Amino acid sequence: MAGGAGELSLSPARIAGGVALALVVALCLGTLLPLVLAAEPGRGIGPADRAAIRFTLFQATLSAGLSVLLAIPVARALARRRFPGREALVTLLGAPFLLPTIVAVLGLIAIWGRSGLASRALGLAGLGPLDVYGLGGVLLGHVFFNLPLVTRMLLQGWGAIPAEHWRLAAQLGMGPGAVFRHLEGPMLREVLPGAFLLVFLLCSTSFAVVLALGGGPAASTVELAIYQALRFDFDLGRAALLGLVQFAICLVLAAGLLALGRQAGFGQGLGGPVARHDAARPLARAIDAGAILFAAAFLLLPLGAVVVRGLPALIAGLPAQVWPALRVSLSVAVPSALLSLALALALAGLVTSVRRGLLAEALTLMGLAASPFVIGTGLFLVLNPLVNPFALAIPVTLLVNAVMSLPFAMRVMVPAMRRAREDYGRLADSLGMSGVSRFRLAVWPALRRPAGFAGGIAAALSMGDLGVIALFADPETATLPLTMYRLMGAYRMEAAAGTALLLLLLSLALFWIFDRGGRWLDRA
């Protein structure tokens, strides 16, 4: 790609990338091996599993398509409008995605459920209650989780179009059509395939949401089939087989979509505020206002329900056990986010510097396609004969969380790294820069902002994570989500709602700190 002669050697950066890639592959693919070795002859993949594979592909395609389509007008509106509360709204976009599934489901049904707000409003008009359970419920849940994520990714994309281009477009008197053709279209073409892929993978490995809102066993995913194989049938071989199916889907899709996502090649601008000449038309105003109102209502109402349910318990005081759990969660989330960033940096360096970078990038996406149950079981089989699994509870959680949030970090880091290489790579080569100084002067400045965003996502994801490593869970080191589930399991729904709200606020705070940190470094 943009690599100069100096980059073809085995640089330390490339070795670091190779090591990171090996780690990801070992954790995702390598953990299947112990399952296969320990497996007794099982049933293999049956008709119910095939139905699950079909439904998974179907709902994940629809969920991802819908999330991406709806995110485009929302992100464009947020990119070109300034209004009070915009910053807060953009921050809150990070919220749904990091809610523990059960909290999100309860928040969603408080609005869309049979006795939710919408049903009660319909009731006033003499209409029957809403019934979202089924494919509609699954899509509702997945769009709620992922629309904000895609919006954030697209916002980054809009932000990457240099202000100079907009000024030029204004001088040339480009209308909305021309602006789309020359500026927004190419940017979308770069960002959308990756965003679609991420959401597809997220939706294809979810199962609690799918089940809860899907209305019945017809809504079963591959992930549920894996869970069933491990838990109900204890058929390790079938679990491994289904795990492979998930990877195969991921890799085929990743190869296709990443190849599709061509670079926009805007080049580097000098920064500065973007004045959108095309935004003043009344029609554009109306569309943007509609998009923002829609997104705000769609996201904030269920979030509001979570806040309303949790606030009384949060104010009245949470059970004492919540606070040590909070410490555990933070001590996992922060190092895990830093580790994820380090891995993403190394891998982005590798992906953008070698000819077959696409394959490496596709491989890193396996972190999302990997079943947490398979990773946990595989690691347990490998580690248990050697060490006490409890002793490794924190390091293993940290590592698995870092690898699972890696695909998000990669989505924002790779394009930024590629841009840095294109814009400054040749200059750096000609100056003979290498090693630390090259990274510090020619690469890092372009990465600070995306790195902050990626770190924020990783930290928040890691906070909200649950049960990736149930087999390693130490009684003394319960995380915040686990404590919340335990409260619910003991009927203490109010205290659990308060804990969920605390979790939400903390995840958001972490996300905000990382994201701000990136921007602050960028300005400093």
Partner 1 sequence: MTRLLLASAAAVLTALPALAQEKPVLTVYTYDSFTSEWGPGPIIEERFEAQCGCDLKLVPAGDGAALLGRLKLEGARTDADVVLGLDTSLTAAARETGLFAPHGVSPALDLPVDWDDDTFLPFDWGWFAFVYDRTKLDTPPASFEELLDAPEDLKVVIQDPRSSTPGLGLLLWVKSVYGDEAEAAWARLKPHVVTVTAGWTEAYGMFLEGEADMVLSYTTSPAYHLIAEDDDTKAAAVFAEGNYLQIEVAGRLKDSDQPELADAFLAFMLTDAFQDAVPTTNWMYPAVTPAGGLPKGFETLAKPAKSLLVPADEVPALREEALAEWQAGLGN
Binding footprint of partner 1 on the chain (CB under 8 A): 38, 48, 102, 105-106, 109-110, 113-115, 133, 137, 207-208, 211-218, 224, 227-228, 230-232, 234, 319, 321, 335, 338-339, 342, 377, 380-381, 384-385, 387-388, 390-392, 394-395, 398-399, 470-471, 473, 475, 485-493
- DSSP-derived letter for residue 419 is H
Which residue, 102 or 347, is less far from partner 1 as judged by CB? 102
**Structure-block tokens of residue 210:** 């799918």
Which residue, 170 or 381, is less far from partner 1 as judged by CB? 381
Which residue, 346 or 369, is less far from partner 1 as judged by CB? 346
Shortest separation between residue 227's beta carbon and partner 1, angstroms: 6
b/e burial code for range 169-187 (CB count within 10 A of at least 16 → b): beeeebeeeebbeebbebb
Shortest separation between residue 458's beta carbon and partner 1, angstroms: 13
Shortest separation between residue 32's beta carbon and partner 1, angstroms: 15
Q: CB-based burial of residue 97 (10 Å sphere; 0-12 exposed, 13-18 middle, 19+ buried)?
A: buried
Which residue, 78 or 343, is less far from partner 1 as judged by CB? 343
Instruction: Count each helix (H run) and each strand (E run) in the chain, helices first.
Output: 23, 0
Which residue, 253 or 314, is less far from partner 1 as judged by CB? 314
Shortest separation between residue 321's beta carbon and partner 1, angstroms: 5
Which residue, 110 or 420, is less far from partner 1 as judged by CB? 110
Which residue, 142 or 421, is less far from partner 1 as judged by CB? 142
CB half-sphere exposure, 207, CA atoms < 13 A: 18
List, in sequence order, every beta strand (DSSP E) within 36-130. none
Helix (H, G, I), strand (E, B) or coil at 142: helix
Q: Are 81 and 295 in contact (CB under 8 A)?
A: no
Cα angle 71-467-112, degrees, rounded to a multiple of 5:
40
Which residue, 255 or 471, is less far from partner 1 as judged by CB? 471
Shortest separation between residue 490's beta carbon and partner 1, angstroms: 4
Shortest separation between residue 21's beta carbon and partner 1, angstroms: 15
Shortest separation between residue 131's beta carbon and partner 1, angstroms: 8
Shortest separation between residue 515's beta carbon and partner 1, angstroms: 21
Q: Which spans in 29-126 are helix H?
A: 32-38, 47-80, 86-92, 101-112, 117-124
Cα–Cα dist 142/161, whole Å: 29
Shortest separation between residue 64's beta carbon and partner 1, angstroms: 22
Cα–Cα dist 144/97, whole Å: 8
> Which helix H or strand E contains 234, and what residues bound it?
none
> Which helix H or strand E contains 6, and what residues bound it?
none
Which residue, 105 or 192, is less far from partner 1 as judged by CB? 105
Q: Are 213 and 138 in contact (CB under 8 A)?
A: yes
Phi-psi category of 467—alpha, beta or left, where left has phi over 0 and alpha has psi -120 to 50? left
Q: What DSSP line would sit under 403-424, residue for residue? A: HHHHHHHHHHHHHHHHHHHHHH
Cα–Cα dist 161/185, whole Å: 11
- DSSP-derived letter for residue 172 is T
